[in-house]
């Protein structure tokens, strides 16, 4: 990363949360071929959409279109919203076999029946199927008429399209090249003539029926337990208290106000996907795992890494008059809570719409790390006066092409739901 300037300062007023924090030596801020200078705007759909249309996003533009066509061609199935969620989640297993693998951790917020619900899941007990278990729990919690096994069979029968390598997956393949070469099955799967698979080259086809059968066989009796772990709790923050009736997060913003930073020890790779249906039922999800080491899962060619202690930071802000709600999630940062503090400190309920949320998400970012104390900033998009302020702080300041991801789900006053996707995310949003 390009060095901007360097000063030396002894920091004594900043502390770290001992139970889940460490002194960071190598920060995760991406620098790759997808530069911020190519970013034009945050991604969201116009409110005027075709009657009965769905909106999807994931790491693959092609997969978005394929699933949209699948639903369009199978309207006669009269799928419930919960079934569409699970089908979309299963397809991610094939499209993103690193970060939505059967062993990945999943977090999501679902809006259904006029209510939001946050989902997180406990660490599995010697199982490689935590992600599948999460989908199974979600399916059972909402109205449905089909089982997980039935939905898997439906995909095998009716979703015959070839899934190809996305930009996000291609970046991961490159990062994990040496680890993949050490495993004969993974090498055979992700290489062609000793060359890594490239963007738009075909991926292997998952047999979803076999996958679910293996999950049900190997996860008993673990599969029968409730592993849902919901951890949203009320927060207090001056700007939030002034603007919203209810604010809940899965972390405490007050820690950051008191200069207590929650720093992850290792890099956690995370992807994201979501959907809004024609009835405004919606969900926003992230999944991922620690890829410091990798192995394949039961000959399915998908990746098992390590269970991440923290995946992403989440907040939901709600107000009665005017009646609106905003969900925010941040990920792909070693301190996702710190990443979310910027929007939380600036957001206001008045005239809140897609454009306002987009502006908050698109704003230039900075992130502070310890050992040694330093700041990384998105200098290409931060305002000059903000950069100058950092340079005067007497801390080492470094440039980063992009710092993490922030996505949002907005329920506006007209009861319309909107997915608002960070332009830094290597993915696509399908609007109809």
Q: How many CB atoms lie within 10 A of CB 186?
A: 20
pLDDT confidence band for 266 (50 / 70 / 90): confident
Q: Is 379 exposed, middle or buried (0-12, 13-18, 19+ CB in 10 A)?
A: buried
Which residue did the predictor score with more confidence, 245 or 155?
155
pLDDT in tens, 95-130: 999 999 999 999 999 999 999 999 998 777 667 899
- Say what the pLDDT of residue 80 is: 97
Checking if the pLDDT of 40 tops 50, the result is no
What pLDDT does residue 121 have? 84
Question: In the predicted model, what is the mean pLDDT of the chain?
Answer: 84
Chain-centroid distance, C-alpha 422:
10
pLDDT at 143: 96
Cα gap 150→136, rounded to integer Å: 12
| pLDDT tens-digit readout, 11-37 | 333 443 333 332 222 333 433 333 333
Q: Is the pLDDT of residue 252 over 50?
A: yes
The pLDDT of residue 66 = 96
Residue 126 has a pLDDT of: 67
Q: What is the mean pLDDT of residues 237-258?
A: 85
Per-residue tokens: 204: 């292997």
The predicted structure's pLDDT at residue 85:
98
The residue with tokens 């332009």 is: 423
Q: What confidence tens digit (pLDDT) does each residue in 48-61 have?
A: 666 557 899 999 99
Q: Which pLDDT score is estimated for 322?
A: 75
pLDDT tens for 286-318 read 999 999 999 999 989 999 999 998 999 999 999
86 within 8 A of 148, measured Cβ to Cβ: yes
Rg (CA), the chain: 21
- Please report the pLDDT score of residue 372 as a whole number: 81
**Cα 218 from chain centroid (whole Å):** 27
Residues 382-423: tens digit of each pLDDT:
666 565 665 666 778 888 889 999 999 999 988 899 999 999
pLDDT value for 221: 59
Q: Is the pTM of this model over 0.85?
A: yes
Among the listed residues 253, 256, 258, 289, the one whose alpha carbon sits nearest the alpha carbon of residue 271: 289
pLDDT category at 42 given cuts 50, 70, 90 is low
Rounded Cα–Cα distance for residues 107 and 354 (Å): 23
Res. 7: pLDDT tops 50 = no
Tokens encoding 419: 């997915």
Confidence label for 43 from pLDDT (cuts 50, 70 and 90): confident
pLDDT score recorded for residue 370? 79
């Amino acid at each position: 990363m390009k060095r901007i300037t360097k000063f030396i300062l002894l920091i004594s007023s900043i502390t770290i949360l001992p139970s889940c924090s460490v002194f960071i030596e190598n920060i995760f801020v991406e620098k790759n071929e997808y530069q911020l200078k190519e970013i034009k705007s945050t991604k969201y759909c116009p409110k005027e959409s075709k009657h009965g249309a769905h909106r999807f996003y994931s790491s693959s533009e092609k997969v978005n279109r394929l699933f949209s066509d699948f639903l369009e061609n199978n309207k006669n199935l009269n799928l419930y919203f919960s079934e569409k969620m699970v089908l979309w989640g299963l397809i991610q297993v094939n499209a993103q076999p690193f970060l939505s693998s059967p062993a990945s951790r999943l977090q999501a917020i679902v809006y259904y029946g006029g209510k939001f619900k946050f989902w997180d899941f406990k660490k599995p007990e010697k199982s490689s199927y935590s992600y599948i278990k999460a989908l199974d729990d979600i399916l059972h919690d909402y109205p449905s008429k089909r089982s997980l096994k039935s939905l898997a069979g439906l995909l095998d029968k009716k979703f015959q399209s070839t899934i190809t390598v996305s930009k996000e997956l291609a970046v991961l393949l490159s990062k994990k090249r040496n680890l993949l070469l050490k495993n004969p099955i993974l090498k055979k799967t992700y290489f062609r003539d000793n060359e890594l698979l490239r963007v738009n080259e075909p991926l292997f086809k998952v047999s979803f029926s076999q996958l679910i059968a293996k999950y049900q066989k190997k996860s008993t009796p673990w599969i029968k337990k409730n592993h849902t772990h919901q951890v949203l709790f009320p927060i207090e923050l001056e700007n939030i208290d002034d603007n919203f009736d209810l604010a809940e997060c899965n972390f405490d913003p007050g820690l950051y106000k008191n200069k207590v930073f929650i720093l992850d020890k290792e890099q956690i790779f995370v992807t994201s996907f979501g959907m809004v249906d024609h009835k405004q039922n919606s969900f926003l999800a992230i999944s991922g795992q620690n890829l410091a080491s990798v192995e394949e899962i039961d000959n399915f060619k998908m990746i098992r890494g390590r269970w991440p202690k923290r995946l992403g930071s989440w907040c939901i802000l709600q107000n009665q008059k005017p009646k609106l709600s905003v969900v925010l999630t941040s990920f792909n940062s070693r301190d996702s809570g710190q990443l979310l503090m910027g929007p939380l400190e600036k957001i206001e309920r008045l005239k809140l719409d897609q454009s306002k949320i987009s502006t908050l998400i698109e704003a230039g970012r900075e992130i502070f790390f310890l050992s040694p104390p330093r700041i990384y900033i998105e200098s290409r998009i931060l305002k000059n006066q903000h950069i100058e302020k950092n340079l005067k702080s007497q801390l080492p300041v470094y440039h980063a092409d992009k710092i993490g991801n922030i996505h949002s789900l907005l329920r506006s006053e007209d009861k319309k739901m909107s997915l608002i996707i960070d332009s830094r995310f290597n993915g696509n949003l399908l609007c109809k």
